[in-house]
A and B are shown apart, each in its own frame.
Chain A
Amino acid sequence: DAGITQSPRHKVTETGTPVTLRCHQTENHRYMYWYRQDPGHGLRLIHYSYGVKDTDKGEVSDGYSVSRSKTEDFLLTLESATSSQTSVYFCAIRVGTTYEQYFGPGTRLTVT
């Protein structure tokens, strides 16, 4: 499982509240990714990181911010959650110089 954990695994929150999801890895991989998975859309890239304090936007970054202050942790923040951000969120790491990615167990977020 490449030592990836996500927390929390499930969360229900109200519209307008801030939410932070955490991805933690134990193997010092440089590249980390946040994806969301929605019916009819599949998986889509939100943000990614290519090192400590180095992050960039993906396809669906509006309404999300990220931070990476140390190699092992990549945080995804919804500053003011909206119902359209109800989704399953997956963190992933990229192994070495290949394009292969390994995924965390996912966080199911419901915004009411």
Chain B
Amino acid sequence: KNEVEQSPQNLTAQEGEFITINCSYSVGISALHWLQQHPGGGIVSLFMLSSGKKKHGRLIATINIQEKHSSLHITASHPRDSAVYICAVPDSGGGADGLTFGKGTHLIIQP
């Protein structure tokens, strides 16, 4: 079973700061998933990436398959970015590829 670790667990920053959230995993994978969950809200897919970098608006995700590590960056952070960010990898043992999740990074952006 893949072990997924995220850091930091909690992060408070000021509006406008550059944010980095890290994710590492123990078993090689072919793709990694970043998700966002607002307080009391549903879970939204941000990125699925298997190599290099992807960008969507102010969000950038990178992955290094050899080092088993991914980062999620937020540029020019805004209070509406306050949420829990979760990384997930396909379950290495399951044929239908359920996901194994990190415990999430709780981000608060203060005005």
Chain A residues near B (Cβ < 8 Å): 31, 33, 35, 40-45, 48-50, 56, 58-59, 90, 94, 98-106
Q: Are A103 and B96 in contact (CB under 8 A)?
A: no
Say which residue of B33, B98, B103 sits within 8 Å of A58 (CB atoms): B98
Determine if A42 and B104 form an interchain contact, defined as CB atoms under 8 angstroms apart: yes
Minimum Cβ distance to chain A for residue B35 (Å): 8
**Do A98 and B31 touch across chains, with their CB atoms under 8 A apart?**
yes
Check A100 against B48 for contact (C-beta < 8 Å): yes
Bound together, the chains give a CA A59 to CA B44 distance in angstroms of 22
In Å, the complex CA distance between A40 and B95 comes to 27
Please determine whether A99 and B97 come into contact, CB atoms closer than 8 angstroms: yes
8 contacts between A and B (CB under 8 A): A33-B99, A48-B96, A50-B96, A58-B94, A90-B42, A100-B48, A103-B35, A103-B43
Say whether B43 contacts A90, CB under 8 Å. yes
Tell me how far the C-beta of B23 lies from the nearest C-beta in chain A, rounded to whole angstroms: 12
Residues of A within 8 A of B48 (CB): 98-100
Known A50-B96, A99-B31, A101-B33; contact A42-B102, beta-carbon cutoff 8 A: yes
In the bound assembly, the distance between CA atoms of A22 and B88 in angstroms comes to: 24
CA distance A97 to B91 in the complex (A): 15
Contact across chains for B96 and A56 when beta carbons are under 8 A apart: yes
Distance in Å from the Cβ of A69 to the closest Cβ of chain B? 18
